Amino acid sequence: MIHIQNVSHTFTIGKKGSEKKIPVLKNISFEVAKGEIISIVGKSGSGKSTLLNAVAGFLKPEEGSIIIQGKETTTLTESEYAIFRSENIGFIFQNFQLMPGLTAFENIELPLKIQGIDKHRRFEIVNKIIRKVGLETVFDHYPNELSGGQQQRVCIARALITNPPIILADEPTGNLDSETEQEILQLIALLNESMDITFIIITHDEEVANIAHRKFLMHDGVLKEVVQHAV
Amino acid sequence: MLFRDQIDFVRQHVKRNRMRVFTTILATTMGCAFLIVLASIAFGLQESLKNDILSDSAVTKIEVYGNDEKGIDQKAVKAIPNVQALVETTQFNEPLTANVKLENRSGSGEMVFTNFKEQQKAKIKLSAGTYPTKADEIIVGYNLGQNLLTKKEEQSAKEEGKKEEKNNKGYQHSLLGKTISLSFTLENEEEHTKVRQYKIVGIGEKPSKEWAMDTSIQISDAMKSNILNDYNGIVDKKVQEKDFYNVSYNAYATDMEAVKGVLKKLKAMNLSVYSVTEQLDQLNVFFLALKVGLIFVGTIAVLIASIGIFNTMTMAVTERTREIGVMKAIGAGPKLIQRLFIMESAYIGVLGTVIAIIISYIISFLANLALPKILDAVISDGGIEEAGIRFSTIPWELVVIASLISIGVAVLSGWRPARKATKIDVIQALHQE
Ligand SMILES: Nc1ncnc2c1ncn2[C@@H]1O[C@H](COP(=O)(O)OP(=O)(O)OP(=O)(O)O)[C@@H](O)[C@H]1O
Ligand SMILES: [Mg+2]
């Protein structure tokens, strides 16, 4: 499903002449199978987000190859990637990234609008998802009228709406209290099971790591799988 | 994204920044309305002058003058394709006054000898009656009756001065079928030529202008030698026909389009020609230059307004950086982002233009209504209102040109901000609060 091979990336900062090179990803290789939840943990600044951005196509790694659904993505143009992304990848953000001017319903609907799906179809699909993530009572609320947990549900629903096989999540519970966090994690586990969606979740949190099938540790740009010993 | 949804999207954003968008639309409206109203002056004046020229005489008429002693080879002129008639008109070379008498009234008119057959071929219209067939039948101008006054009327006209001239209606009944007596006198002399009787069988068309008076008396060419004899009867020194009369020729083309070709052929025959269409051509060239100039000046106003659009759109892109990042993350490609922003600036342009067109029509209407009155009040002997001059006309061509310019400029000024939006980096955008 996802094959990542020898991916390296170095940021260059500062002015010309006095540039500083920051190697952030160092020869990273791993694979994710369909229907897997994997978690990536690691210290702040270790390069977790950068890795996820490379998988998402927001950043082109200097070296290596990223093959998703059998397609080499590092050579896609921006327009090609936009289409690829809208068909294959959903995102869950730490700070939800909802449109403040749109209701929960409209936020969830947005990816379908972008895909050019007509209003009737959209209405059907969105209503189904709203029931699935439990937003029936607040679908007409604007983001500032929703709790953190509800906002994250909207974000998850928006990620799910185009029925992508892969969802990438960068600290999805980072802004939530522990009780809400549990709800969201259960929702993710449920979606994974019922819809066979592959998740890559970045987290600081052991709780999150618990729902993962496999766990990776990022340390200074090097990714290692944490082998879980059978009890 | 469906077009409907794109429009909804743009509308939503416009609504969120109502005030800013409104002021930008206002600036665009002012620029575009300025452009339309300014250029409409050229269109209005051109139309006024054109109507003036066209109403003056028939467009198919071509005045023909011989350049040498030989004069005009009438047969050759008539043989030119698309020439349907060649009318010969003759006037006196001497300062003769035509005295008309009808019942107890008398007055004067302008004498012309003409060829009625050719006039008929040229399809010159009459307001009443038919073309004469006999030598003693004539056609008179539409206003000749007004010139025929009784002694009493003449007296009162003299006393009350020119101001009351209008009140003197002269002969009130139709002249058609009436027989008038006609004789001629030399200026400042009493003796008149033999009095001859003519029957009025046709009346000329009403002059197109309110103030114009047609008091002509058209008599058949056949009478030319008789009247010359009459004249020679009262003078000491006898004159020759060619000295007594002044002949001029008007050729008539089949239609306006044919005039150009006929003019060319006539010139090739070494004849001098004059046609209002030539005057119209010159007029059109002049007004084309004027229109282009005024549209250019108006476009500057639109360009100034476009700076506002550019600013508004740049601010919109900057403000929505995070949202653009999210849009990209959930599947919007650069092309869609660009299109949404260009549509937003086009929206401003279209709305501004539509309002500008409406306002321009109102301004134009009011200007045509009020300006002649104001000018007449300021200028003592104005008469502008009566002359029917239009100061401003907005034809559809002007609306199309102005719309293309101002919507085009709006789209262009939104283009760079839209490009900027497509270049927004998703990672950085999502980091924004
Ligand atoms: N655009 C950039 N330009 C330069 N350096 C960058 C850029 N983005 C990230 N970095 C650097 O790369 C390193 C990794 O950043 P990254 O965001 O991947 O860390 P992270 O593991 O996600 O941290 P956190 O857990 O705090 O989110 C950091 O040292 C950061 O300063
Ligand atoms: Mg991070």
In this structure, what CATH number is given to the domain that contains residue A140? Answer: 3.40.50.300
What is the domain count for chain B? 2
d(CA B388, CA B95) in angstroms, rounded, equals 35
B173 and B304 share one domain: no
Same domain for B310 and B205: no
pLDDT grade, residue A40 (50/70/90)? Answer: very high
**C-alpha distances in Å from residue B92, one per residue of B217, B224, B383:** 13, 10, 33
> Does B113 lie in the same domain as B13?
no
Query: Chain A: nearest CA to B420, how far in angstroms?
Result: 15
Which residues, chain by chain, have CB under 5 Å from ion ligand 2? A 49
Tell me how far CA of residue B112 lies from CA of B90, B246, B265, in angstroms: 6, 10, 28
**Å from CA of A49 to ligand 1 middle:** 7
For atom 4 of ligand 1, the residue with the nearest CA is A11
Cβ separation B329–A113 shorter than 8 A: no
End position of a domain, from candidates B203, B234, B253: B253
Say yes or no: B12 contacts chain A, CB-CB below 8 A: yes
CA A48 to ligand 2 center in whole angstroms: 6
Chain B's closest residue to A118, CA to CA, is B2
- Residue B396, domain extent: 3-55+282-431
* Co-location of B11 and B89 in the same domain: no
Q: What is the mean pLDDT of chain A?
A: 90
The pLDDT, as a whole number, for residue B362 is 96
The model's pTM is: 0.76
B294: enclosing H helix or E strand: helix B276-319
Instruction: Please report whether residue A23 resides in a domain.
Output: yes
Judge whether A118 lies within some domain: yes
B265 dihedral zone (left: phi>0; alpha: psi -120 to 50; beta): alpha
Q: Which atom of ligand 1 approaches the CA of A12 most closely? A: 4
The residue out of B253, B273, B299 marking a domain boundary is B253
| Pocket-testing residue among A24, A53, A60, A219, ligand 1, by greatest number of atoms within 8 A of Cβ | A24
Cβ contact, residue pair B329, A58, below 8 Å: yes
Residues B248 and B120 in one domain: yes
Given the DSSP bridges, would you call strands B137-140 and B216-220 parallel, antiparallel or unpaired?
A: antiparallel
Q: How far is CA B321 from CA A78, B17, B388, B401, B417, in A?
A: 17, 15, 58, 35, 12
Euclidean distance between the first and final Cα of chain B, in Å? 27
Is the domain of B148 the same as that of B231?
Answer: yes
CA dihedral of residues A207, A210, A216, A221 (deg, nearest 10):
-10
Question: pLDDT 10s digit of each residue in chain B, 433 long?
Answer: 888 999 999 998 899 889 999 999 999 999 999 999 999 999 998 888 887 777 655 778 888 888 766 678 888 888 888 888 888 888 888 788 888 888 888 888 888 899 888 888 888 888 888 999 888 899 998 888 888 888 877 777 777 655 545 555 778 888 888 888 888 888 777 778 888 889 999 998 888 777 778 888 999 988 888 888 888 888 877 888 778 888 888 888 887 778 888 888 888 888 888 888 887 888 889 999 999 999 999 999 999 999 999 999 999 999 999 999 999 999 899 999 999 999 999 999 999 999 999 999 999 999 988 888 888 888 766 666 666 678 899 999 999 999 999 999 999 999 999 999 999 999 999 987 7
Torsion of CA B207, B210, B211, B216, to 10 degrees: 20
Nearest to B332 among A53, A56, A114 (CB): A114
Which pLDDT score is estimated for B165?
A: 52
- The predicted pLDDT at position B57 comes to 57
Residues framing ligand 1 (Cβ under 6 A): A 11, 13, 22, 24, 42, 44-50
B276 in a structural domain: no
What residues of B are in contact with residue A118 (Cβ under 8 Å)? 2
Name the strand (E) or helix (H) holding B87. strand B83-92
Residue A231 resides in a domain: no
Query: Where is pLDDT greater, at A113 or A17?
Result: A113
For residue A85, which residues of chain B lie inside 8 Å, CB to CB? 329-331
CA of A106 to the centre of ligand 2 (A): 28
**A108 found inside a domain:** yes
Domain count, chain A: 1
Handedness of CA B155, B159, B163, B167 (dihedral sign): negative
Identify whether residues B316 and B409 lie together within a single domain: yes
pLDDT band at A117 (very low <50, low <70, confident <90, very high): very high
- In a domain, residue B75? The reply is no
**Is residue B248 within 8 Å of residue B273, measured between CB atoms?**
no
Same domain, B226 and B344: no
Residue B392 φ/ψ region, left for φ over 0, alpha for ψ in the -120 to 50 degree band, beta for the rest: beta
How many angstroms separate the CA atoms of B326 and A157, rounded?
15
What pLDDT was estimated at residue A27?
Answer: 92
Q: Are residues B150 and B110 in the same domain?
A: yes
Q: Tell me, yes or no, whether B334 lies in a domain.
A: yes
Number of other CB atoms surrounding residue B167 within 10 Å: 10
Cβ-proximal residues to B1 (8 Å cutoff; 6+ apart), any chain: A113, A114, A115, A116, B9, B332, B336
Shared-domain flag, residues B299 and B166: no
Q: Which domain holds residue A208?
A: 2-226
Atom number, ligand 1, closest to the C-alpha of residue A42: 21
First to last CA, chain A: 29
Query: Within this chain, do residues B51 and B140 fall inside the same structural domain, yes or no?
Result: no
What ipTM was assigned to the predicted interfaces of this complex? 0.92
- Indicate the pLDDT class of residue A103, thresholds 50, 70 and 90: very high
CA distance A93 to A107: 14
Task: Assess whether B94 and B133 both reside in one domain.
Answer: yes
CA A13 / ligand 2 centre spacing (Å): 18
Task: Give the whole-angstrom CA distance, residue B95 versus residue B292.
Answer: 49
Contacts of A59 (CB under 8 A, 6+ apart): A9, A50, A53, B427
Domain end residue (candidates: B232, B253, B274): B253
